[in-house]
């Protein structure tokens, strides 16, 4: 009986040993299958389809390819599929092509528009120029107060729509007039500046503004906009009235403002003064109607300033970029740098914003400064036209893919349903190249970034 028992134990141990060996062999094969050598220069990215290239205009090329990448660069995760689209240039030395930002123009308030509509609006405001390709831009306010305001600093065409900036990992890409860039926390003037233009549209003079929407400075210049909450006693001052073509106030911590318009009449100041966007007009029959006036005031005791602000003179009031930012003409905010000097950041991050697989929009730069604009699709499902198997990426994966596109530095723009890449078609219109995750529909966003010529 004892011999039979011993034989049973030995047989059981042998079976266990075989099971463990088979399990270990199976797991080893599974792991080696997952981490087999990829077909790219990144151990975290595979290509599935051949690279499709389309030559656009001005040396700009559109690339499309389906890829897989290892979620969050975490070897405990799996490779996931997604469509990847990007545009770049063979050489940025082509001075005819510029990188610019834009928001759909509106006189009174922040506004949102699809990337295609924004591109058409940019062309409308820049006769003789065309948009070649572009993407959505910065994150923006689309919940809560839902103002559509970009969440970070924003300049277009030298106009500082939003001087406020966030700082830290929420930086700004500043684009100089010569196509070079400066990136990080912007440097701003301590005062707003009053730009006075000559009849040819050139800046004739710049003067510091002492304050805005506050008690008038005893000397200097004070600006009042439609967003002024209180009235002020301006007796003893000259009030130079203006009509704005653009007025913006930021909901950022500094509540900065931007005003652009044309001067009207000057008059002595009165008590309880403030400008208005609309006023009530009494008609001859005694009834009233609301009229749009779009006023702004410049109050000063300096007669020399008053003499320069004659009726018909065009002006602009804004904060300026200074120091290494002084030549910036366009800017857009980002959240997180993903690629720094050729090194992908945030591998195996525990920050859900960084590690979650989302549709993403990226801007990156090659060693010579050439820009790359990329969108990676995601959030596919059986009920979404984006389709299953289109998963999106973490920022680490995005960095690896941007590196494969030739970038040495890259930054994360607004993603999710906002992610959109457009390209000019043969008919002079624009095609959406990617598969927006809002069930295939373009989302209206706060601003956009374009390659133009």
pLDDT tens digits, 56-78: 999 999 999 999 999 999 999 99
Q: Residue 21: its pLDDT value, please?
A: 46
Q: Residue 390: its pLDDT value, please?
A: 85
Q: Is 79 exposed, middle or buried (0-12, 13-18, 19+ CB in 10 A)?
A: middle
Q: Residue 32: its pLDDT value, please?
A: 37
Q: Residue 20: its pLDDT value, please?
A: 43
Asked if residue 13 has pLDDT above 80, the reply is no
Average pLDDT, the chain: 91
Q: DSSP states of 313-351 as a string?
A: -EEEEE--B-GGGTTEEEEEE-S-EEEETTEE--TT---
The top-scoring range by mean pLDDT among 7-21, 136-150, 374-388 is 136-150
Asked if residue 19 has pLDDT above 50, the reply is no
The mean pLDDT value for 390-406 works out to 97
Percent of the chain with pLDDT over 70: 90
Going by C-beta distance under 8 Å and a sequence separation of 6 or more, which residues neighbour residue 379?
A: 358, 359, 386, 390, 392, 416, 417, 437
> Are 226 and 242 in contact, with CB atoms under 8 Å apart?
no
Rounded to two decimals, the pTM is: 0.89
Q: Residue 18: its pLDDT value, please?
A: 44
Q: Residue 251: its pLDDT value, please?
A: 87
The top-scoring range by mean pLDDT among 20-24, 237-241, 254-258 is 237-241
Q: Residue 382: its pLDDT value, please?
A: 62
Q: Residue 74: its pLDDT value, please?
A: 95
Q: Residue 380: its pLDDT value, please?
A: 79
What pLDDT band is residue 284 in, cutting at 50, 70 and 90? confident
Q: Residue 253: its pLDDT value, please?
A: 83
Radius of gyration of the chain (CA): 29
What is the CB neighbour count within 10 angstroms for residue 452? 22
What pLDDT band is residue 24 in, cutting at 50, 70 and 90? very low
Asked if residue 15 has pLDDT above 90, the reply is no
For residue 7, report the phi and psi dihedrals to the nearest 5 degrees: -65, -40
Distance CA 320, CA 248 (A): 15
Q: Residue 30: its pLDDT value, please?
A: 36
Of the candidate ranges 251-255, 349-353, 383-387, 437-441, the one whose mean pLDDT is the lowest: 383-387
pLDDT in tens, 348-373: 999 999 999 999 999 999 999 999 99
What is the CB neighbour count within 10 angstroms for residue 302? 14
Distance CA 176, CA 341 (A): 21
Asked if residue 16 has pLDDT above 60, the reply is no
Asked if residue 396 has pLDDT above 50, the reply is yes
Q: Residue 439: its pLDDT value, please?
A: 84
Going by C-beta distance under 8 Å and a sequence separation of 6 or more, which residues neighbour residue 24?
A: none
What pLDDT band is residue 37 in, cutting at 50, 70 and 90? confident
The mean pLDDT value for 377-393 works out to 78
Q: Residue 35: its pLDDT value, please?
A: 52
Asked if residue 9 has pLDDT above 90, the reply is no
Q: Residue 94: its pLDDT value, please?
A: 65
Asked if residue 252 has pLDDT above 90, the reply is no
Identify the residue whose tokens are 């301006």: 234
Q: Which two tokens stand for residue 341?
A: 């000097």
pLDDT in tens, 303-333: 999 999 999 999 999 999 999 999 999 999 9
Q: Residue 385: its pLDDT value, please?
A: 62
Beta bridge partners of 121: none
The mean pLDDT value for 282-290 works out to 86
pLDDT in tens, 228-251: 999 999 999 999 999 999 999 998
Conformational region of residue 409, where left means phi above 0, alpha means psi within -120 to 50, and beta covers everything else = beta
Q: Residue 142: its pLDDT value, please?
A: 86
Q: Which two tokens stand for residue 264?
A: 């009207």
Q: Residue 29: its pLDDT value, please?
A: 37
CA-CA-CA-CA torsion sign (15, 16, 18, 19): positive
Q: Residue 93: its pLDDT value, please?
A: 75
DSSP letter at 9 equals: H
What pLDDT band is residue 386 in, cutting at 50, 70 and 90? low
pLDDT in tens, 119-166: 999 999 999 999 999 999 999 998 778 899 999 999 999 999 999 999
Q: Residue 145: its pLDDT value, please?
A: 80
Distance CA 268, CA 278 (A): 21
């Amino acid at each position: 009986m004892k011999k039979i028992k011993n034989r049973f134990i030995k047989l059981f141990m042998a079976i266990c040993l075989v099971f463990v060996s088979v399990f270990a062999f199976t797991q080893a094969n599974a792991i080696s299958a997952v981490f087999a050598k990829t077909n790219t220069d990144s151990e975290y990215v595979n290509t599935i389809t051949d690279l499709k290239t389309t030559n656009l205009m001005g040396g700009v090329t559109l690339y499309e390819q389906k890829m897989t990448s290892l979620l969050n660069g975490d070897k405990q995760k799996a490779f996931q599929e997604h469509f990847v689209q990007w545009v770049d240039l063979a050489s940025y030395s082509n001075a005819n092509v510029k990188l610019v930002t834009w928001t759909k123009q509106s006189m009174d308030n922040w506004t949102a528009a699809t990337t295609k509509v924004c591109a058409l609006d940019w062309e409308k405001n820049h006769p003789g120029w065309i948009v070649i390709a572009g993407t959505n831009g910065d994150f923006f306010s689309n919940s809560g107060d839902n103002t559509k305001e970009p969440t970070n600093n924003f300049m277009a065409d030298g106009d500082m729509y939003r001087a406020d900036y966030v700082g830290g990992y929420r930086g700004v890409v500043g684009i100089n007039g010569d196509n070079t860039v400066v990136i990080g926390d912007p440097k701003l003037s301590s005062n707003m500046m009053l730009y006075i233009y000559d009849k040819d549209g050139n800046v004739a003079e710049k003067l510091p503004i002492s304050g805005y929407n506050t008690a008038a400075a005893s000397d200097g210049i004070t600006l009042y906009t439609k967003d002024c909450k209180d009235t002020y006693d301006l007796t003893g001052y000259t009030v130079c009235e203006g009509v704005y073509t653009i007025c913006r106030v930021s909901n950022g911590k500094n509540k900065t403002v931007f005003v652009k318009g044309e001067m009207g009449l000057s008059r002595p100041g009165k008590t309880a003064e403030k400008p208005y966007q609309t006023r009530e007009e009494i008609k001859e029959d005694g009834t009233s109607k609301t009229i749009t006036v779009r006023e702004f005031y410049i109050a000063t005791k300096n007669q020399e300033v008053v003499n320069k602000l004659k009726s018909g003179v065009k002006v602009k009031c804004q904060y300026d970029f200074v120091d290494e930012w002084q030549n910036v003409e366009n800017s857009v905010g980002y959240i997180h740098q993903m690629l720094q000097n050729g090194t992908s950041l945030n591998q195996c991050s525990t920050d859900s914003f960084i590690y979650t697989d989302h549709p993403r929009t990226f801007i990156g730069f090659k060693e010579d400064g050439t820009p790359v604009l990329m969108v990676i699709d995601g959030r596919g499902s059986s009920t979404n036209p984006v389709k299953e198997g289109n998963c999106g990426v973490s920022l680490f994966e995005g960095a690896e893919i941007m590196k494969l596109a030739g970038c040495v530095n890259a930054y994360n723009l607004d993603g999710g349903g906002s992610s959109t890449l457009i390209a000019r078609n043969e008919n002079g219109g624009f095609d959406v190249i990617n598969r927006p995750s809002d069930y295939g529909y373009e989302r209206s966003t706060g601003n956009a970034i374009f390659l133009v010529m």
